[in-house]
Structures are given as C-alpha cells and as structure tokens.
Structure 1
Amino acid sequence: MPNIVALHELTTEQKQKIRDIAPDYDLIAGKYKELPSGTVAQADIVLGWTSSATEEALSDHSRIRWIQVWSAGVDRMPLKELEQKNILLTNASGVHAIPITEQIFAMLLAYTRNLHHAVRQQSQSKWDKSGTFRELSGKTAVIVGVGQIGSTTAKVAKAFGMRTVGVRRSGKPDPNVDVMYTVDQLDQALAEGDFIINILPLTDETKGLYDAGRFEAMKDDAFFVNMGRGPSVDTEALIEALKSGHLAGAGLDVFEQEPLPSEHPLWGMDNVIITPHTAGDTVHYTERVLDIFLENLKAYRQGEALPRNVIDYEKAY
C-alpha cells in the first residue's frame, strides 16, 4: 500500500481531508525522530521536511516521489540530489503573503512613529518625546522580489498613500506597482526608495546581493527591511551604512547567522528593529500549507501535473 508520511502534527480533521483525497494511501504522521527507522524512505509522498531525514530520503532504497516542504524557501534542501532522483519538490509559497506583509508594515510604522524607541523607554518607565516622527504617505517603497508577498505589500503600501516601485526577474507589470524594474536595473530602483524592502529568495545570484555598493546606491536616510534571506545581505556593509548615517535604519527578520549571536553589534543599534525570523509565522500556517498540498494531491492522484508551487531546480525556487 502506498503511503504519505507527514512530519508535522496534524489534527484529526486535517488527516481526514488527506484520506478523503487519497483513500488508498496509508497516512503516517509524527515527528521524524519518533518514527520507526526507514519510515521516510518507504514513503511515496512526504509532507514536511527536516534535515535529519536527508540521508534516508536520498538512500538507494528510498521510494519518495514527491516532497511538500513546510517553508517557502528551499535553499537548505539538497536540491541537486533531489533533482538527480527525479523527486518532485513543492514549497509553501503563498502561505506568507499576509503575515509577512503585516510584519513589514509593523517595521515601517514602528520606525516612522518611533515605536521602537517608545517600547525601550517604557521598559525604563521613561517619558521622552524626543525624536523625529515621520509618515509613510507620499514616500516611495521599493519592493525587491515582487511575487505574491511583494504584490500584497505593494497593495497595502498604496493604501497608505505610498508610491510603489518593484523589482522582479521578468519585469512583468503588477497592478499594485507603479513602476517595475528588472533585476539588472536594481541600482536604479534602489535610488528611488525611501523604504527598501527585500523579499528575494536565496539563490546563487542573490547571495551577497546587498553589498557596500548596493547600500551606496540607496538614498541618504533610506530605511532597509529584510524579510527575504539573511545571506542576501553583507552584514558588515549594512552595519557600516547604518553607522555612517547613510541609512536611517533597518528592520531585520533574517540574518547571515541565526540565531543572531548575543554579542552581535546589531543588537545594540538604536536605529535597528530585530525580530527572530518570525515574519512568516501565523496561527493559520498549517491550514494554508495543507490547502496547497491537498490541491496538488488531487492532481497527483489523477496523474496530472501539480498545479501549485513546483520548484524549478535550475532556478532553485
């Protein structure tokens, strides 16, 4: 009997939804370390992923044909090996549009209204009205990596009265973006932004993309937000841009090294807002991933191409 192995906790109702679509598949659910040895290798479909399963999943006796990962990013997956074994790989792209957009604007509003300073002062019972209070209205948001998250971010930015500039590989227009550039025109786009928002995945092309030259291309007093991947940013170059005053501040959810070491200088910078890689977290996460998986599972059972989120191994996303 073919089987599906889920490496995340599922409710009884969620398990039943899977069984309703694939009644002839055995469903096994549990954390990887709690499953009997060899369970993943004997799966036809794996829902979820852990690096601990890599050796077993890639073994000669593995029969895995499809892996649905729980995240949007697949940069930590053994992509070359999975491609060689002709394993379909799908991600959770689309799950994050609402929470990450809201996190982005939490950063922007905290910065413009000095909420990050107010929170620090509150912890000291300190009444301090000093500081510069800015507005989003009339400012330009440059969104680098316009996919589902970027388009949603642009839509919300327009509601705040902002001008929106986008950057995407194809340069294809988006109804929520006033001006769209290609990646080759990145420096031109950066020069227009009061707020630079990075949502790019990590690939060979995006690693170290934001170096000293890129920060120099940004406006004086720009605010930089990174919701993509930490290694896309040269951290030392970012710190230098912040220290010099060229950048007014930064909102960071991802870092080159995670967890961010306690002695790291970013922690002590008043113009930096830090969250611990939680931008995509939401109480609705599992149900949204499952919606993607169930739609793909219907197609898979019927021998059709998977309609959602199939990873292009050549592009790595």
Structure 2
Amino acid sequence: MEPIERAATVRYAAAADLPDALRGADALFVYDFLSRALPSAWPAADTLGWVHIASAGVDPVMFPELRDSDVVLTNSRGVFDAAIAEYVLGLVIAFAKDFAGSLRLQQQRTWRHRETERVAGTSALVVGTGPIGRAVARLLRAVGMSVAGAGRRARRDDPDFGTVVSSAELTDHVADVDVVVAVAPLTEQTKGMFDARAFAAMKPGSRFVNVGRGELMVTDDLVSALRSGHLSAAALDVFEQEPLPPESPLWTMENVLISAHMSGDVVGWRDALVEVFADNFARWCEGRPLRNVVDKRLGYVPSMS
C-alpha cells in the first residue's frame, strides 16, 4: 500500500468504523472480501466514486443501493485462476486415486490392495465460463478429460470448452458427465442452482466439486444425494454458512472432502490482491480505464468469450 499512501490519504477501518471512514472518501478498497459491512455503512458514502473488492466474486457488495448508483465496481479477477484450476485438478485426481481411502487405511495400519480409476477418458461439465472456469477446463483437458462448459449463453467452438450449454438448462446436461465443477459467480440466477432436481439429474455415481460460492448449492439436497449413493462423492471448498458448523453432517461423511474456502489462496495471494488494487488506483488517478469493471446488472465482469 505504500505507493497509494504516498498519493492519497488512506484510512484503514474495521467494520464498526467503516461509516466514519467512508465520509468524504473517493474510493473504497474492500480488502476483507467476505465482509458484509458496506450495506449498513452506505449512507455515509457521500463522495464515493469507486469500490474495489479483493475477490473475484462481488456478491458481498452487490446490494441494491450500490447496484443502482453511479459508483464503479471492480474486482480482483485473474488472481485466483491458475491456483483454483490446480486445486480442482488435484481433487479430481484425489477422487480417482482414492487418496482419502489410502490415508484412512494408513492411519489404521491396514494393508489393503485396491484398484483405482483413470482420469483420462472421463468427462466434466464446468459450470461457470469466466477466467477461473476456463483455467479449470484447460487443465482437465490436459490430463485427457472431455470438458464442456455451462454459462449464460450457449455456443459452440469455444476455445477452452468446445461446447458451452446454457446454465439455465443445467438439468438437461449433467446426466452424461462424471464430474460437475461449480465455479459460477453468485447471482440471483445462480443461487441454489444445484438443488435436489439438479443432483437427481446427475449421472449415478458422479462427483460434485464446488469452488465457486456455497450458496450455489442447497446443502441439505447435496447431503441427501450423497447419502443415497446417487452421487459418489463431493469436494467442497465453499459453504452456505462459513465456517461450516461443527454439527454439519458433511464433516463425518467419508465421501466428502472439505476445505476452508482456500482453493485460490496460494503463497503470496494477499500481496497479489493489493497489487491489483494498486494498478487500478494508478489508472484511476491518471484517468485511464479501470480493469475488471463489473457489470452491476450481471454481477460479474463481462467477457466477449
């Protein structure tokens, strides 16, 4: 933040202090990307022209007053793409090779020979066709998987997905794939898209990976699909409620891998987030176009691809 501190008066504020810090401020850097403090502090934003959030998802700050205002919203698109793609690939391989089962047997000091699966030749549907979804698709293709995408607009001959189907018709396209990966942004259209109907439409024995937002899925419906055996496994990095409550049945299900909203958080990620803001701050001061401008009607940065 040193270059920014040399160029501007910077106020650092916790959630409780945000209203006072916002008065007279021209820009806001939401570094705590999970904070929900901005909506209640919004009336104090008397001179605000730009909000930047340190995440790819903008749902924590996508409330009606900001959406309907002239305030520009930017995000940190691009920081997490490769890291999350590697994480998803690791999960797909971990399921195929049953690493969790090997660890349990090791802890029991039990020698048990098993057969595992090939990843090559299996199929995946990546739900969310932004930069993160594209990075995921490229890595899964690299290990021999057949990959399609699901996005807002159906199309063919996509450079990363080949075929992109409409996410509004999700249940028509999940029946023939081995792995469904959720990386879509959280919007009114995507909230709860993975519900009992969607899980029931998935291929028996298939697997579900969510590295997008917890609210994309209905947790109780996922638990039911896993308990019934219709889904063979799930890997979850995000949840409807975070931290995941201790009483959640997901903790004790052997066919579930849980991580603490960390799929993109590799060494150096915090510095990278500040660097994205610093670059945009320099652009803002110089009157140049900002990067990663969010279409507030859509809830994400639009792409031509």
Aligned to 1:54: 38
Separation in 1 of the partners of 2:100 and 2:40? 45
Identity %: 34
- The answer on whether the counterparts of 2:153 and 2:164 sit within 8 Å (CA) in structure 1 is no
SS across alignment from 2:59: coil
Could you tell me which of 147, 163, 170 is aligned with 2:146?
Answer: 163
SS across alignment from 1:118: helix
**After the TM superposition, which residues 250-261 of structure 1 pair with which residues of structure 2 at under 5 Å, given as runs?**
250-261=234-245
Separation in 1 of the partners of 2:255 and 2:270? 34
Aligned to 1:316: 299
Aligned to 1:3: none
Which letter maps to 1:129? H
- Distance change (3 Å), C-alpha of 1:41 and 1:116: farther
- The answer on whether the counterparts of 2:23 and 2:44 sit within 8 Å (CA) in structure 1 is no
Shift of 1:253: 0.8
- Distance change (3 Å), C-alpha of 1:61 and 1:177: closer
Superposed CA deviations along residues 99-157 of structure 1, whole A, max 9, x for unmatched, are: 21111112111111110122233333333334x51111001111010111111111111
Separation in 2 of the partners of 1:162 and 1:61? 49
Residue 136 (structure 1) aligned with residue 91 (structure 2): no
Aligned to 2:24: 42
Give the root-mean-square deviation of aligned CA atoms: 2.4
TM-score w.r.t. length of structure 2: 0.88
Aligned length: 297
Shift of 1:244: 1.6
Range with bigger deviation, 284-293 or 134-143: 284-293
Unaligned segments of structure 2, at least 5 residues: 301-305
Shift of 1:53: 4.7
SS across alignment from 1:58: helix
4+ residue segments displaced more than 6 Å: 33-37
- The answer on whether the counterparts of 2:98 and 2:116 sit within 8 Å (CA) in structure 1 is yes
Range with bigger deviation, 191-200 or 50-59: 50-59
Which letter maps to 2:233? G
Aligned to 1:75: 59
Aligned to 1:249: 233
Could you tell me which of 103, 107, 130 is aligned with 1:147?
Answer: 130
Aligned to 1:228: 212
Could you tell me which of 111, 122, 141 is aligned with 1:127?
Answer: 111
- The answer on whether the counterparts of 1:43 and 1:63 sit within 8 Å (CA) in structure 2 is yes
Separation in 1 of the partners of 2:101 and 2:136? 25
- The answer on whether the counterparts of 2:84 and 2:132 sit within 8 Å (CA) in structure 1 is yes
- The answer on whether the counterparts of 1:112 and 1:134 sit within 8 Å (CA) in structure 2 is yes
Superposed CA deviations along residues 234-266 of structure 1, whole A, max 9, x for unmatched, are: 112211211221111111111122211212111
TM-score w.r.t. length of structure 1: 0.85
Range with bigger deviation, 134-143 or 230-239: 230-239
- The answer on whether the counterparts of 1:165 and 1:189 sit within 8 Å (CA) in structure 2 is no
Aligned to 1:64: 48
Separation in 2 of the partners of 1:38 and 1:280? 32
Residue 183 (structure 1) aligned with residue 138 (structure 2): no
- Distance change (3 Å), C-alpha of 1:241 and 1:311: same
Which letter maps to 2:126? I
SS across alignment from 2:224: helix
Separation in 2 of the partners of 1:174 and 1:225? 22
Which letter maps to 1:298? A
- The answer on whether the counterparts of 1:41 and 1:56 sit within 8 Å (CA) in structure 2 is no
